Structure 1
Amino acid sequence: MPLDAASIGQRIVVRYVVGGTGPSGGPAMSDAIGRVRAVDETSVTLERRDGRTQVVAFSDFVTWKAVPDRPLRRRRAVDVSADELTRITSLGWPAIESVHLGDWELRTSRRFTGRANSVAVHGDPGLPLDEALGRVREFYASRDVPALAQVVVGSTAERGIRAVGWVPMVGYHGGAVVQVADLEPAYAADPTARIAPTADDDWLVNYGRVNDPAAARAVLEGPATVGFVSIGSPAVAIGRVVVTGEWAGIACVEVAPDHRRQGLARRIVETSLAWAVEHGADKAYLQTMRTNHAALALYEPYGFVDHHDYLYLEPGTTASAQ
């Protein structure tokens, strides 16, 4: 059976030639496994379990087959490294502009949220640290936005960047805790909840961090598999769920002040997790403030535990200007 538009969403493994000679003397081959996200006349795009995509040309195909939707073995959420999880969370909250500096990702989105307007520091920038940070400062200066670095608390990167004069960003949104959970096979989705592929005005007005609706929508609607959950008409409770590979991201859970303490946030979360499992996720992450005790209590019954904290660093007065 050929791969076509009907295959989108299916999980497959493809064996394909990569060029050169293999160990047996024949053509060298490799395997790619993932969920089909796009098919055209010449190639298929697969989304791998970490959310990154791979394009394989049909001309390189040797064979392919469908594989079980949920692997028999899976990594536990807590076993994924902080660097890898930072890459995954960035895919779920994609910046309008994203430029790679080695493994680092320089992100800017017209100032909509720190996550989409900072350099995600993970792996190796491919340059000496001073030079890499100089490139970061140049990138953000050319776009007239502050230079920020999102770093994992306690990491070698944090220590190195602090050592050359960068300092923690001051203010409530200076960082967050990332929590993770392994998902169960089924959750009780709320039958009254609506899940849309885009953030309409009714949803967006309930998300209180929007100064530029166009920029917000570009980031929030960026991933291929994203759902905007709402309850009520007009909406009195909202949430956002995104699936990239085997991971779901839960965010933007908000309840109108005069409708709180009625279980609406729990219904949004439960519906979001049900949707995530339906779309192939078996792990989930969320990002919230250490001081947001209500949010931490909301997620705890679903098995969410601390993975790591991150904070934003900005150039201090003694930072190198290189």
Structure 2
Amino acid sequence: MSLPTVQKLYAVVDGTWPPAAKQTHGPWTVRLDNSGSSRVSAATAEGRVTDADIPQAEAVMHQAGQTPLFMIREGDDRLDRDLAARGYVIKDPVNLYAVPIAKVATERPPPVTSFEIWPPLAAQAEVWAAGGIGPGRLAVMERAPDPKTTLMGRLNDRPAGTVFVGIAADCAMIHALEISKDHRRQGLAQHLTRAAAFWAQDNGADYLTLVTTQANDAANALYSSLGMTLVGQYHYRTLPE
């Protein structure tokens, strides 16, 4: 089974983590959202763009009250150079992973470790909030299309972790996996990832996918250990504060 391409995963990100508004302006797709999540607040080039096109996207984002932010995807080398020449700096380089679901949905988590819940509970919101994932990102989850769910992880009889999972096409994508500080390094992230794979399999997906920052060594090590393959990358360009 061949893995989805990086171009397909860019679409899966959009399909499972949608912005409040998405507009076309010339050669740009501009995402508008006040959640603080870069994935739903960035402009992307749809085809060939030149340095002369950049002010158009900047103006749309300024008008919406957003700091100009550009997602640099595979093939955007010229745009990357043009933005760098304008003083834009790199923000949050990320890795995109994919794996056939059957490779991860092999062993269910221990009993009472993971629960499928929609809509998410206040206890999950508290776990996310402690990790910097606030109401804006919860609103992204709310507007995401079905099928979707959250998983709540429990350790020592307490809510200890949570994750959002959505499906677009034949790909399930994990977002906002957060483990409470006091419960890290106890295997819960792996349990929730496997639980997400079983849920996705039951809901018709063929692949489990996700995005994580390149700087998150623990997450990259976890997903590699689960047999996930690095399919591609992207990063953002933004102006310094």
The two structures have a TM-score, normalised by structure 1, of 0.65
**More helix by percentage:** 2
Matched, 1:175 2:175: no
1 or 2 for the larger relative contact order (CA 8 Å, sep ≥6)? 2
User: Corresponding residue for 2:146?
Assistant: 224
Q: CA–CA distance in 2 between the matches of 1:264 and 1:118? A: 31
Decide whether aligned partners of structure 1 residues 96 and 133 sit closer, same or farther in structure 2, where only a CA change above 3 A counts: same
User: Corresponding residue for 2:78?
Assistant: 159
Decide whether aligned partners of structure 1 residues 300 and 101 sit closer, same or farther in structure 2, where only a CA change above 3 A counts: same
Q: For 2:150, what is the secondary structure of its paired residue?
A: strand
Q: CA RMSD in A?
A: 2.4
Q: For 1:133, what is the secondary structure of its paired residue?
A: helix
Q: For 2:60, what is the secondary structure of its paired residue?
A: helix
Deviation at 1:291, TM superposition (A): 2.1
User: Corresponding residue for 2:238?
Assistant: 314
User: Corresponding residue for 2:3?
Assistant: 77
From 9, 12, 15, give the equivalent of 1:91: 15
Deviation at 1:292, TM superposition (A): 1.4
* Structure 1, 275-284 or 248-257: larger mean CA deviation: 248-257
* Structure 1, 196-205 or 142-151: larger mean CA deviation: 196-205
User: Corresponding residue for 2:224?
Assistant: 300
Unaligned runs of 5+ in 1: 1-73, 317-322
Q: For 2:186, what is the secondary structure of its paired residue?
A: coil
Per-residue CA deviations over 1:230-259 (Å, capped at 9, x if unaligned) read 122651111121111100111222221222
Any conservation in 2 of the 1:182–1:303 contact (CA below 8 Å)?
no
* Structure 1, 273-282 or 195-204: larger mean CA deviation: 195-204
Q: CA–CA distance in 2 between the matches of 1:167 and 1:116? A: 22
Decide whether aligned partners of structure 1 residues 105 and 234 sit closer, same or farther in structure 2, where only a CA change above 3 A counts: farther
Any conservation in 1 of the 2:29–2:44 contact (CA below 8 Å)?
yes
Unaligned runs of 5+ in 2: none
Any conservation in 2 of the 1:111–1:145 contact (CA below 8 Å)?
no
Deviation at 1:161, TM superposition (A): 4.1
Deviation at 1:223, TM superposition (A): 2.4
Report the count of equivalent residues: 231
Q: CA–CA distance in 2 between the matches of 1:103 and 1:268? A: 39
Q: For 2:210, what is the secondary structure of its paired residue?
A: strand
